[in-house]
Amino acid sequence: MNSLTEMFSYSSKANNLNLVINPEFFYKKKSKKRVFDFYFNYINDSSFLPLLIKMYPLLNFLDCRDRQLNNLINSQNIKGLIFNLEMAQDFDLETVIFVRKNFDKLMLSDLDTMAYPLFKNGIDGIITDFSSRNYNLLSKLKNSVINSDSMLAKSLQLKYNVLKKS
């Protein structure tokens, strides 16, 4: 990472994707809490996951329990997902978009140890912590889409079988 400026902003009219992290909000000296101001809007575009992978070192600073940050995020009316690097590598864009659109319909009681709503008040997002729990989440996702999207169901079934054997 030679250029931090490159990490703080990204904009592309061609694919309708914008992500801005304002360094001024990244760290507030008075409160000594790491906060940043970011937002992104996206369409089904192949640049989405590579961008998140690129931004991952900075997104690690996010603390969902920080009330000050929570208020800041709420004020920006964010829509989107933040995934850890492992998630971005394991899932294709189609699956990520599906999870975003259907997360509320999944059984959160079964997923609360590996995924949870990022912020309440209608903000659409989750943070995932996979490590060795990929198998369990894939099982849940596979069962939830088996009758609604055959292409995605087949993709999840394949990944599920691979993890089951390992």
Q: What pLDDT does residue 149 have?
A: 44
The secondary element (H helix, E strand) that includes residue 50 is helix 48-59
Nearest Cα neighbor of 45 from 3, 14, 88, 5 is: 14
Q: What pLDDT does residue 164 have?
A: 52
pLDDT in tens, 113-124: 333 333 222 222
d(CA 35, CA 23): 9
Strands 37-41, 126-128: pairing is: unpaired
Q: What pLDDT does residue 165 have?
A: 53
Per-domain residue ranges of the chain: 4-133
CA atoms in the 13 A half-sphere facing the CB of 2? 0
pLDDT in tens, 103-113: 444 333 333 33
d(CA 25, CA 40): 16
d(CA 76, CA 78): 5
The label of the residue with tokens 């729990």 reads 133
pLDDT in tens, 131-155: 334 445 445 544 544 444 444 444 4
Beta strands in the chain (DSSP E): 9-12, 17-22, 27-28, 33-34, 37-41, 115-117, 126-128
pLDDT in tens, 36-92: 333 333 323 334 444 443 343 334 334 333 444 444 444 433 333 333 323 334 444
pLDDT at position 93 over 50: no
The label of the residue with tokens 């599906």 reads 98
139 contacts 161 by C-beta, under 8 angstroms: no
d(CA 102, CA 123): 14
